[in-house]
Amino acid sequence: MGHTGEPLVDHTGEPLPRWLYARIPREVVCDPGLESLDVQVYCMLAGSVWQGTTAKIGTRLIARSAHASRRLVIASLRRLEARGHVQKAVVRRGERELYILTSLVFGQKQRAGIEEVISSPIRTPRLASVRSD
């Protein structure tokens, strides 16, 4: 059966709106030291990252979306940090936490041919594609 070139799932190629998907690295999904809530919490972090590696999302929103208590979400974030999947960036007192996703999935450019050097909260240069509009 030949392919006619039309989109197979009604996707015309425009960027997806925020929160429609999240990239979850295999090393997170298959980590035996994580609980299922930890993977859900990571999914919420990953869903808030569009370009780059930095997630800025509150624990209350994560808890509400994952149907868990805020206390359990904080415990999951600590486990993710202890297992090396996220790092907490230094923020001033009273500011929302910043989480850096350490997987190489988030360090690569996401659209071919469009790249710029950006800096992350831990002061390391990274490649990221950016929108031109």
Task: State pLDDT tens for residues 30-52.
Answer: 999 999 999 999 999 998 887 77
Q: Looking at the predicted structure, is the pLDDT value of residue 133 above 80?
A: no
Q: Give residue 80's pLDDT.
A: 97
- Contacts with 100 (C-beta within 8 Å, 6 or more apart), sequence order: 53, 54, 55, 86, 87, 88, 89, 120, 121, 122
Q: Looking at the predicted structure, is the pLDDT value of residue 15 above 70?
A: no
Q: Give residue 77's pLDDT.
A: 96
Identity at 126, one-letter amino acid code: R
Q: Looking at the predicted structure, is the pLDDT value of residue 109 above 60?
A: no
Q: Give residue 130's pLDDT.
A: 52
Q: Looking at the predicted structure, is the pLDDT value of residue 131 above 80?
A: no
Q: Which of 69, 117, 74 is nearest to 97 (CA)?
A: 74
Q: Band the pLDDT of 105: cuts 50, 70, 90.
A: confident
Over residues 2-10, mean pLDDT: 53
CA separation for the pair 20, 30 (Å, rounded): 23
Q: Are 103 and 28 in contact (CB under 8 A)?
A: yes
Q: Give residue 62's pLDDT.
A: 93
Over residues 58-63, mean pLDDT: 92
Which CATH code for domain 26-108? Answer: 1.10.10.10
Over residues 82-95, mean pLDDT: 88
Over residues 127-133, mean pLDDT: 51
